[in-house]
Amino acid sequence: MSHDLELVKRANASGGIPVVFVHGLWLLPSSWDRWAGVFAGAGFAPVTAGWPDDPDTVEEAREHPEVFADKTVGQVAEHYADLIGRLDRRPVVVGHSFGGLLTQILAGRGLSVASVAIDPAPFQGVLPLPFSTLRAAAPVLGNPANRHRAVPLTFEQFQYAFANAVTEEEARELFEEFAVAAPGAPLFQAAVANVNPRSEVKVDSLADDRGPLLIISGEQDHTAPWAIAYASYKIQERNEHHVTEIVEIPNRGHSLTIDSGWREVCDTALNFVQRFV
């Protein structure tokens, strides 16, 4: 938390519009470092904040995977909402995977001036459940006890869920550089969101202060494929107050924010944000 607060302090001191980056499962805030450099070069103030108790490095995360256990969507959303409340200016929010879901939750609370959700996890009301999504989530959902555990991925599981659209060599490099354990709770929450009226996996898509929203989908994503992204878009476009757009990036998988093609995705997000901010 102290690291996150230091980032908030720097953003406030810069006078620039903050951009809060929200990572998803099996990654750390450092996965956004290159994006932060691009947005900083465009005059924004990047805030690469973590989930509660995120270790500072991949090495530390692998030594102490237990710190990820029992983090729920609601807890993480409140954590980011608290950080945003400490910023002097309403930020842009950019998130990937479950970070994309959290981005939409925060936007629905009126906490962002513009938002980009990349391959977002589904929220309540998003009905498609492709086979590839179930297979990608199987390492967690296959054991009910994982609800309260931190679960790592094997390389083969990471390759299917994240790195299916890159070479095996690059997939192994990404696995070694970025992959850490993740809490099982959010996946179980998302799995039952449509039958749980009290679910934390809810988005206020009609909020009049939501701000413009872009959804980015990787064409070959196994974890959050087009069916999920498009269903999210169709719900979000009902918002009459703000622009809602969707774009599909060809030949890209779930690793699109960290793999060798990251810059195309980053520029797509930045160009959208600059149209409105």
Q: What is the pLDDT of residues 143-156, one digit of tens each?
A: 999 999 999 999 99
In angstroms, the CA 204 to CA 254 distance is 25
Mean pLDDT of the chain: 97
165 Cβ contact list (under 8 Å, min separation 6): 218, 220, 221, 251, 252, 253, 255, 256, 259
Q: What is the pLDDT of residues 81-110, one digit of tens each?
A: 999 999 999 999 999 999 999 999 999 999
SS3 at position 7? helix
Q: What is the pLDDT of residues 38-80, one digit of tens each?
A: 999 999 999 999 999 999 999 999 999 999 999 999 999 999 9
Q: Classify domain 2-276 by CATH architecture.
A: 3-Layer(aba) Sandwich (3.40)
Q: What is the pLDDT of residues 198-239, one digit of tens each?
A: 999 999 999 999 999 999 999 999 999 999 999 999 999 999
Domain boundaries in the chain?
2-276
50: left (phi over 0), alpha (psi -120 to 50) or beta: beta
SS3 at position 96? strand
Q: Please say whether the beta carbons of 222 and 133 come within 8 A.
A: yes
In angstroms, the CA 32 to CA 46 distance is 10
pLDDT of the residue at 2 = 78
